[in-house]
């Protein structure tokens, strides 16, 4: 189909109803009901609420102030920006001499490509998502040499205005890092974001995740949660999390291939280094697996789970998708239903284990006539996979003190599960309340 001509454009008149004259490659002239004429371009960028490509329209400018030739050139500039992952704006289409200047988006992607090699996959994706959402829509198409501190501050203020102050500080750091990289590459002379952090509200003190750290109250929590009607695998997962004090995501991704020696005297859960918290160097360490000694009470849970998921790769898969891990909200929801909203979260079992076992070990150490801190404090840190400042010492210690770690794991299981029913009791029980009858008892 032939494109528009100057003659056809001049003859475009008002008809009392808006219409458009198509030139090609998404460019068209929009004629309003009263005869106003403007160049527009349809394009796709980002995703809509349904996850599909978002359909958008770019207004290039009025005709005849912008000629057919200039409109086509502007369309080509817009398409070039889209090809680079940058959403075009009218102000970006007619700049003179910008072709040779690097945009902030181009510099940001070069910086990201370099830095992402050092980060874990999850962290790298988080950084990219934050730039895509909060920074690139406003700065990506701008030549990096033209960006001022005021422009950067406006980007940060939008984040502050929605109450995400900590995010604003992190984004400021990312923007500053991109400018520092640009300084090193000789593209700019200074970092306009360098001192903006002092113009942001201070980061609120982080709140500790709620955790019950009294042993009797924690036992009652286990009773209350296991009295709820839900799938046996959910109750067993919560009990296993409490016994091992691992991070919730480490439990969600647990695989049968990671369990060792379940029939022997020293059963062990070997969590691969790649699944542990930390940067890429930590995840790539040789012999960096986290070793979790399993008490008999933990092994008994796995024996029950073998009946449910023993033929799958994951021990605790999603109910709907056996190849995907259990949802991160499943255990939190169980705690909420049992009445522990804002009183205890899945991560709280780590705090409970640390607090209770450290107190017991310190008391036993003093009762034995020793002075100073108990050496078990460092061993408990190992059991929690806390990353030490001394990485060399950490790599050595992860495989050390296994006998004592196993003793502490068994002691924890015995005091926590004292007088608790065996895990087998949950097998085959109702998973929800009946639609008729007395229904769920009130608390």
Q: What is the residue extent of each domain of the chain?
A: 6-94, 104-199, 215-426
Q: Which fold has domain 6-94?
A: Double Stranded RNA Binding Domain (3.30.160)
215-426 matches 6-94 in CATH topology: no
- Both structure tokens of 413: 């299981």
Residues 258-311 pLDDT 10s:
999 999 999 999 999 888 865 454 444 546 788 999 999 999 999 999 999 999
SS3 state of residue 160: helix
If one counts every other C-beta atom within 10 angstroms of the C-beta of residue 372, the result is 7
pTM: 0.56
Identify whether 64 is preceded by a cis peptide bond (ω within 30 of 0): yes
DSSP label at residue 284:
T
Task: Quote the pLDDT of residue 99.
Answer: 45
- Produce one character per residue of 319-331: b if its CB has 16 or more CB atoms within 10 Å, e if not: eeeeeebbeeebb
Task: Quote the pLDDT of residue 98.
Answer: 46
- Both structure tokens of 327: 């949802």
Give percent above pLDDT 70 in the chain.
88
Task: Quote the pLDDT of residue 157.
Answer: 95
Compute the distance between CA of residue 237 and CA of residue 317 in angstroms, rounded to an integer: 11
Compute the distance between CA of residue 38 and CA of residue 62 in angstroms, rounded to an integer: 4
Compute the distance between CA of residue 147 and CA of residue 106 in angstroms, rounded to an integer: 14
Kindly give, in sequence order, each residue whose CB lies less than 8 Å from that of residue 266, ignoring residues fewer than 6 positions away: 293, 406
38: part of which helix (H) or strand (E)?
A: strand 37-47
Task: Quote the pLDDT of residue 68.
Answer: 87
Q: Which fold has domain 215-426?
A: hpI Integrase; Chain A (1.10.443)
Query: What's the order of all strands across the beta sheet hosting 53-62?
Result: 19-24, 27-31, 37-47, 53-62
Largest CA distance in the chain: 102
Could you say which residues of the chain have pLDDT below 50? 1, 97-100, 279, 281-284, 286, 390-396, 434-435, 443
Task: Quote the pLDDT of residue 123.
Answer: 82
Q: Are 178 and 113 in contact (CB under 8 A)?
A: no
Compute the distance between CA of residue 348 and CA of residue 236 in angstroms, rounded to an integer: 17
Compute the distance between CA of residue 354 and CA of residue 335 in angstroms, rounded to an integer: 20
Compute the distance between CA of residue 126 and CA of residue 132 in angstroms, rounded to an integer: 10
Task: Quote the pLDDT of residue 206.
Answer: 63
**Sign of dihedral through CA atoms 254, 256, 258, 261?**
positive
Compute the distance between CA of residue 77 and CA of residue 101 in angstroms, rounded to an integer: 14
270: part of which helix (H) or strand (E)?
A: strand 268-271
- Produce one character per residue of 61-92: b if its CB has 16 or more CB atoms within 10 Å, e if not: eebeebebebbbebbebbeebbeeebbbbeeb
Nearest to 68 by CA among 26, 32, 28: 28
Compute the distance between CA of residue 434 and CA of residue 436 in angstroms, rounded to an integer: 5
Phi/psi for 314 (5° steps) reads -85, 145
Task: Quote the pLDDT of residue 439.
Answer: 55
104-199: CATH number: 1.10.150.130
In terms of residues, how long is the chain? 443
Compute the distance between CA of residue 84 and CA of residue 105 in angstroms, rounded to an integer: 8
C-alpha dihedral (366, 371, 372, 377), degrees to nearest 10: -40
C-alpha distances (whole Å) from 127 to each of 121, 282, 325 are: 10, 19, 24
């Amino acid at each position: 189909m032939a494109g528009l001509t100057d003659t056809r454009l001049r003859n475009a008149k008002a008809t009392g109803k808006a219409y458009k004259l198509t030139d090609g490659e998404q460019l068209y002239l929009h004629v309003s009901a009263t005869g106003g004429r403007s160049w527009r371009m349809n394009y796709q960028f980002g995703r809509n609420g349904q996850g599909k490509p978002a359909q958008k329209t770019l207004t290039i400018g009025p005709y005849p102030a912008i000629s057919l030739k200039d409109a086509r050139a502007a369309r080509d500039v817009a398409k070039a920006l889209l090809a680079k992952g940058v959403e075009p704006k009218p102000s970006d289409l007619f700049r003179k001499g910008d072709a040779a200047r690097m945009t902030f988006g181009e510099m940001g992607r070069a910086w990201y490509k370099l830095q992402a090699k050092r980060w874990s996959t999850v962290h790298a994706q988080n950084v990219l998502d934050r730039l895509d959402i909060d920074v690139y829509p406003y700065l990506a198409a701008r030549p990096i040499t033209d960006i001022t501190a005021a422009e950067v501050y406006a980007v940060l203020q939008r984040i502050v205005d929605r109450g995400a102050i900590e995010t604003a500080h992190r984004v400021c750091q990312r923007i500053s890092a991109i400018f520092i990289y640009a300084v090193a590459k000789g593209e700019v002379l200074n970092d306009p974001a360098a001192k903006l952090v002092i113009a942001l509200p201070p980061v609120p003190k982080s709140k500790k995740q709620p955790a019950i750290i009294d042993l009797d109250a924690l036992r009652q929590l286990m009773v209350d949660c296991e009295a709820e009607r839900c799938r046996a695998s959910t109750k067993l997962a919560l009990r296993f999390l409490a016994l091992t004090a691992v991070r919730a995501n480490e439990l969600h991704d647990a695989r049968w291939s990671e369990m060792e020696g379940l029939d022997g005297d020293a059963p062990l859960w070997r969590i691969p280094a790649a699944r542990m918290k930390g940067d890429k160097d930590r995840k790539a360490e040789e012999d960096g697996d986290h070793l979790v000694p399993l008490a008999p009470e933990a092994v008994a849970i796995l024996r029950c789970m073998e009946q449910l998921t023993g033929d799958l790769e994951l021990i605790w898969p999603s109910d709907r998708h056996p190849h995907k891990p259990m949802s991160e909200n499943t255990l939190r929801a169980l705690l909420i239903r049992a009445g522990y909203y804002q009183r205890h979260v899945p991560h709280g079992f780590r705090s409970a284990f640390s607090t209770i076992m450290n107190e017991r070990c310190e008391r036993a150490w003093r009762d034995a006539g020793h002075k100073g801190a108990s050496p078990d404090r460092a061993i408990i840190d190992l059991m929690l996979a806390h990353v030490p400042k001394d990485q060399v010492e950490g790599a050595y210690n992860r495989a050390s003190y296994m006998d004592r770690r196993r003793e502490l794991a068994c002691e924890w299981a015995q005091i926590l599960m004292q007088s608790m029913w065996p895990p087998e009791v949950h097998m085959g029980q109702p998973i929800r309340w009946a639609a008729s009858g007395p229904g769920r008892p009130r608390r």
